[in-house]
A and B are shown apart, each in its own frame.
Chain A
Amino acid sequence: EADIYQTPRYLVIGTGKKITLECSQTMGHDKMYWYQQDPGMELHLIHYSYGVNSTEKGDLSSESTVSRIRTEHFPLTLESARPSHTSQYLCASRKQGDSPLHFGNGTRLTVT
């Protein structure tokens, strides 16, 4: 069983607020990812990291930012939340090579 944790599980906030979604893994994985998924829709990659101090934007244009100061921690920040950010955010990690992604439980964000 994968040990990857996301907090909060659910979040409802007002427009314009700054928020940080937390993601931590205890498996020592170098590779970490953030995906966005609307209900019934496909996963879209928004950020990924190869390791400490390495972050890249994914395919989906996003107004969020990420940081990777420690191997186990990969937080995602929205500086000014908007209703269009309402979605489920999924964090994932994996080992080296072609290993599978392991997902956290997700954060369901609602911006009012």
Chain B
Amino acid sequence: QKEVEQNSGPLSVPEGAIASLNCTYSDRGSQSFFWYRQYSGKSPELIMFIYSNGDKEDGRFTAQLNKASQYVSLLIRDSQPSDSATYLCAVNGGTYKYIFGTGTRLKVLA
């Protein structure tokens, strides 16, 4: 089992819909959780981070964390074609180590 798992996709949603991206992790001691967006050929760009159980909203993005179930999700409201990218989930267990998932490819259809 990988330490951080994501469905590789592609996840296709119509423009204006809500895109829901999920991530599960294996280390119960993980303390901080991050979502990055990566366009093809570019470097990862931080979208959101979350440390506590519950929801955290920033504009069209909402991160949701459930430590008991060991999953973190990212919701993108009013999806736009420009949101089409690979979304990386990263988890930190309080050490130097940031573990990245393989990413979910999102396609927003105009």
The stretch from B19-27, B59-67, B92-100 touching chain A is B92-100
B86-110 vs A, CB cutoff 8 Å, 1 = contact: the mask equals 0010101010111011110000000
A42-B102, A98-B51, A101-B34 given; A90·B44 CB < 8 A: yes
User: A84 CB to closest chain B CB, in angstroms?
Assistant: 20
User: B73 CB to closest chain A CB, in angstroms?
Assistant: 17
For the residues of B in contact with A, the DSSP-based class is loop
User: B45 CB to closest chain A CB, in angstroms?
Assistant: 7
Number of interface residues of A (CB under 8 A): 20
Residues of B whose CB lies within 8 Å of any CB of A are 31-32, 34, 41-46, 49, 51, 88, 90, 92, 94, 96-98, 100-103
Contact for A98 among B32, B88, B100, CB less than 8 A: B32
Residues A101 and B43 in contact, CB atoms below 8 Å apart: no
A42 to B44, CA, bound (A): 11
Residues B101 and A101 in contact, CB atoms below 8 Å apart: no
